[in-house]
Amino acid sequence: MREITYLEAIREALQQKMREDDSVYLIGEDIAEYGGAFGVTVGMLEEFGKERIRNTPISEEVIIGVAAGSAMTGMRPVAEIMFSDFITIAMDDIANQAAKIRYMFGGKARVPIVIRTAGGGGTGAAGQHSQSLEALLAHIPGLKVVMPSCPYDAKGLLLASINDDNPVVFIEHKLLYKNKKYIQHVPGEMYEIPLGKGDIKRKGKDLTIVATSFMVQKSLDAAEDLKKEYNMDCEVVDLRTLRPLDIDLILKSVNKTGKLACVEEAPVFGGFMGEVASQVTEKGFDMLDAPIIRIAGRNCPVPYSLVLENEMIPGVERIKSSIKKMAGLSQGKE
């Protein structure tokens, strides 16, 4: 069975869908000859030509405005925003137009646009190129928000996102693109993973860890260490999509384990895991044997210094320490 990287899985999904459907095209900065900032679209210009691999000026408003307008007229654009931080520049087009059009037109107009973007830190790219803004996006009614954690999910979720008739923000983590540690068997044929369905990446009985994107991989590493060191059996739930949220899967896991740790890269204040914790408290309070904990980024911009960045973003050791403290195994360090 072949194994491919996260980046290769995303590129394959784009290629296969574009071969199947002429209404799908790509638009963004430097995605043609250069192949995109992270190399996802390398080689696609030669196959599909400049009509379907469209370079744009350095203007995120233009990218989303053109994509949303063409989506309303029958196209299925995949718009690339180089860094998720730059989504803020196009928020009027995203939040006030694309997200609301179908509702405000009574379903008569559709906006089947996918906004692909690279999120997260860990590369020393500092505060304006390293943010995790998913909570901001998930707050907006009308948007779907997707955060794949592995190659298999990346391909299936991207194909489902392109086929969806609503605007989808598809957040890809920079540290997963070419990471050989996380290569995975990915079927060569097209397949979809339904939006709004989470996945249990590791079964366990003692504690539930809910995580997103690269934090899923860190949580899996932490869970393996906790099993070896303390015989603690953690279940790791990958949300895969933030909106729609698979709250039923989370509640099912919490009902089994009685404990919940929520892990995310974004700053803890106002983070998306606050929504998860709130819903579990409202719908499953009697299932809990201990207070829910959140393990998240520090409440500061992402530092340029890699030493400080690694302190700001949760790592495996901080995840382990927080869970040990929650379980009474040690004092831990938050």
Query: Which residues of the chain, if any, have pLDDT below 70?
Result: 330-334
| Alpha carbons within 13 A on the beta-carbon side of 41 | 33
End-to-end CA, the chain? 41
- Give the model's pLDDT for residue 329: 80
Residue 10, φ and ψ in degrees, nearest 5 = -65, -45
Longest dimension (CA), the chain: 60
- pLDDT tens digit sequence for 86-112: 999 999 999 999 999 999 999 999 999
Fold of 3-185: Rossmann fold (3.40.50)
- Give the model's pLDDT for residue 296: 98
- Give the model's pLDDT for residue 330: 65
User: Do 257 and 207 touch, CB atoms closer than 8 A?
Assistant: yes
For CATH 3.40.50.970, the residue range(s) in the chain are 3-185
pTM of the shown model: 0.96
For CATH 3.40.50.920, the residue range(s) in the chain are 199-326
Q: How far does Cα 153 stand from its chain's mean position?
A: 10
CA distances from 22 to 10, 52, 55, 157 (A): 18, 9, 18, 20
- Give the model's pLDDT for residue 331: 53
- Give the model's pLDDT for residue 328: 84
- Give the model's pLDDT for residue 79: 98
Q: Please name the helix (run of DSSP H) or strand (run of DSSP E) that holds residue 234, with its range, or none.
A: strand 234-238
Q: Rounded CA gap, 316 and 295, in Å? A: 11
Tell me 94's DSSP state: I
Whose tokens are 């469209």? That residue is: 54
Strands (E), 139-233: 144-146, 168-173, 184-185, 199-202, 207-211
Strands (E), 158-233: 168-173, 184-185, 199-202, 207-211
CATH number of the domain at 199-326, please?
3.40.50.920
Active site residues: 129
What is the three-class DSSP state of 329?
Answer: coil
